[in-house]
Amino acid sequence: MTTDPFLDQIRDGVAAICSNFPGKYWQECDANRAYPEAFVQALTESGYLAALIPEEYGGSGLNLTAAATILEEIHRSGGNAAACHAQMYTMGTILRHGSDAQKAEYLPKIADGSLRLQAFGVTEPSSGTDTLSLKTTAIKDGDDYVINGQKIWTSRAEYSDLMILLARTTPRDQVEKRTDGLSVFLVDMKKAKGNGMEIRPIRTMINHATTEVFFDDLRIPANSLIGEEGKGFRYILTGMNAERILIAAECIGDAKWFIDKASAYASDREVFKNPIGKNQGIQFPIAKAYAHMLAAEAIVYRAAATYDNGQDPGAEANIAKMLAADASWEAAEACLQTHGGFGFAEEYDVERKFRETRLYQIAPISTNLILSYIAEHVLKMPRSY
């Protein structure tokens, strides 16, 4: 953990907000698969969700290290930032690649919470991780683009005003490079709903408000295009490093929560007239999880610092995401085992956090794909796919 006084202040501020949203709050949201509206509202009003938006657009103009600290603290406190974290990094697409008019129109409203940009439509059912084979098309027609296709796992679509959408504008066989021909759009969800866009929720093992989104001749104005037509894949890629670092910070927060919860319970719970934490069979998995968390944390904040220095954090961001997700999963397993049967009781929050942290082995990028990235881009081995 860093000892930067500014970051400590952020941690304390976020912890104070989170203290109003205890385990019971998250248990109820989870049981009802309800969007944590009050929490998202409180976080928006505090300005923390606008951490990465520059001051000239009404945000606080903080760096990625500060944003990672905010998300880590939410998870460290037992909460879950998945309901709103996308807002932090998806707005980067507008900030980096949007026109002056788009930035002036949207960023201040995203910063003050009057518009939510929570939905990010990239993944499709038939293409999965192979993003370049996505099939959703956007065809220019007069002053509009006409969208057809389907997205899956578009989280928070029902609670978002805007969606960043990746679609194909030039057929794959008509582009020189496989990464060309995809474009990014900012879709006004309120106008689109019922007019060519339909959202269907998917119930999952966690409370994630994720959905399928169907496009059937949806017309959006041509000025919804962000940046240049055909260059969208690059724009999405530049945002992915920030996303991976921020999600990795959430994993570190989860790992710390599990480790604290496990060590406290192990010291307290007496079986055979002794605290169970006296047994090395209980101690060692928790101690090992702590060591792995600490190592992962160092890489996560190194990746954030690399990003903040304007260098390419590709390798660090991917490695941080993998190590942090592994650390949180290891800590989750040690925590559940330490709690014995009580680990399964909803009131302890362990089973909920256990389910929630499992996601990070799969999303936003799976462990296998990170290993492929390291093998190919860092170790220069042949590409496997």
Ligand X SMILES: Cc1cc2nc3c(=O)[nH]c(=O)nc-3n(C[C@H](O)[C@H](O)[C@H](O)COP(=O)(O)OP(=O)(O)OC[C@H]3O[C@@H](n4cnc5c(N)ncnc54)[C@H](O)[C@@H]3O)c2cc1C
The yes or no reply on residue 363 touching ligand X (CB under 6 A) is yes
The binder of ligand X chosen from 16, 34, 128, 377 (CB under 6 A)? 128
Taking the complex as a whole, the smallest distance from the CB of residue 166 to ligand X amounts, in Å, to 8
The yes or no reply on residue 136 touching ligand X (CB under 6 A) is no
Residues 152-181 that bind ligand X (CB under 6 A): 153-155
Binding mask 185-204 for ligand X (x = CB under 6 A): -------------------x
Q: Of the listed pieces 33-41, 167-175, 304-312, 361-369, which binds ligand X according to CB under 6 A?
A: 361-369
Which residue out of 72, 124, 243, 316 is catalytically annotated? 243
- Cβ closer to ligand X: 286 or 359? 359
Taking the complex as a whole, the smallest distance from the CB of residue 127 to ligand X amounts, in Å, to 7
- Cβ closer to ligand X: 123 or 263? 123
Instruction: Respond yes or no on whether the N-terminal peptide bond of residue 285 is cis (omega within 30° of 0).
Output: no
Taking the complex as a whole, the smallest distance from the CB of residue 4 to ligand X amounts, in Å, to 31
Taking the complex as a whole, the smallest distance from the CB of residue 38 to ligand X amounts, in Å, to 22
The yes or no reply on residue 329 touching ligand X (CB under 6 A) is no
The binder of ligand X chosen from 120, 215, 235, 329 (CB under 6 A)? 120
The yes or no reply on residue 369 touching ligand X (CB under 6 A) is yes
d(CA 31, CA 352) in angstroms, rounded, equals 10
The binder of ligand X chosen from 2, 41, 126, 129 (CB under 6 A)? 129
Is 243 catalytic? The answer is yes
Give the residue nearest to ligand X (CB): 128
The yes or no reply on residue 132 touching ligand X (CB under 6 A) is no
d(CA 285, CA 261) in angstroms, rounded, equals 13
The binder of ligand X chosen from 148, 267, 337, 372 (CB under 6 A)? 372
Q: Which residues are catalytic?
A: 243
Q: What is the contact surface with ligand X in residues (CB under 6 A)?
A: 120-123, 128-129, 153-155, 204, 208, 210, 359, 362-366, 368-369, 372, 384-385
